[in-house]
Every structure is written in structure tokens, then in C-alpha cells.
Structure 1
Amino acid sequence: METYCDRCGGPSPDGGTGHEGCRAARQLEPPRYCTRCARRMVVQVTPRGWTARCVEHGTLTSA
């Protein structure tokens, strides 16, 4: 099963090889793409955290 980068949506073989910049940026921001299908997710950021929802695979939260 191929996985995708949750920041840029590009293919992420071998657990993220080549996405060091994306991993660094993800320390400060929520995911933008689903890691299973590379679809753009609906993201909501609040003072208490964030939620990211993929139409196919459900919701992720920071909590």
C-alpha cells in the first residue's frame, strides 16, 4: 500500500524519504493531505488544537 505525505500530498515511499522539509514544517501545522489516498482534507484550527477530515478515511485530531 502506497502512502502519501500529509503536508504536500506527494508519494512518500519508505516512510517519508525525501520529505524532510515537510516533516519539519509539520511540527507547526496540521496535516493537509490524507496519507492513505492523497486527497486534500478539510482542516479546522482552533485555539485548542485542530481537526482534519478526509471524505474517505475519516477524521484526525490533535488531541
Structure 2
Amino acid sequence: MTVGTTCGHCGQPVAEPHPRCEQMLALEPPRFCTRCGRRMKVQVTPREWAATCVEHGTVAG
């Protein structure tokens, strides 16, 4: 689930795998943009979620 240069859960660089973060990303939306590392605005509803980076747009799930 971690794509790009930054972990979507913890916001740290992805030089090596983050197994705990990958487990958490399977259960909840990403908190950080995987392309730039910025904190994203996350909106969760009972049926779906959306995470928005001001630079790279929205990821939905």
C-alpha cells in the first residue's frame, strides 16, 4: 500500500518497508501524501473515505 517516496501512514521516507504502517493502511485512510509527504485532509463517512493533498489532489477508498 505504500507508494512513492513517503509512507502514507507515518509520513517518513520509505527507504525500507514499514510493515506496521502497511497493516494500518489496510484498515484506515492514508494520513500523509505518498508523493510529497504533506499531511492530508481526511474525511471519513460510514461507507467511504477521502484523503486530499493540497498539491496532488484526492485519493478515495
Assess same fold via TM > 0.5. yes
Question: Once superposed, which parts of structure 1, at least 4 consecutive aligned residues long, lie more than 2 Å away?
Answer: none
The Cα offsets for residues 30-49 of structure 1, whole Å up to 9 and x where unpaired, read as 00000010000000000111
CA RMSD of aligned residues (A): 1.1
Provide the C-alpha distance between the structure 2 equivalents of 1:52 and 1:26, rounded to a whole number of angstroms: 12
For residue 29 of structure 2, what is the aligned residue in structure 1?
A: 30
Larger Rg: 1
Correspondence list, 1:12-51, <5 A: 12-13=14-15, 17-51=16-50
Q: TM-score, normalised by structure 2?
A: 0.88
Q: TM-score, normalised by structure 1?
A: 0.86
AA of the residue aligned to 1:38: G
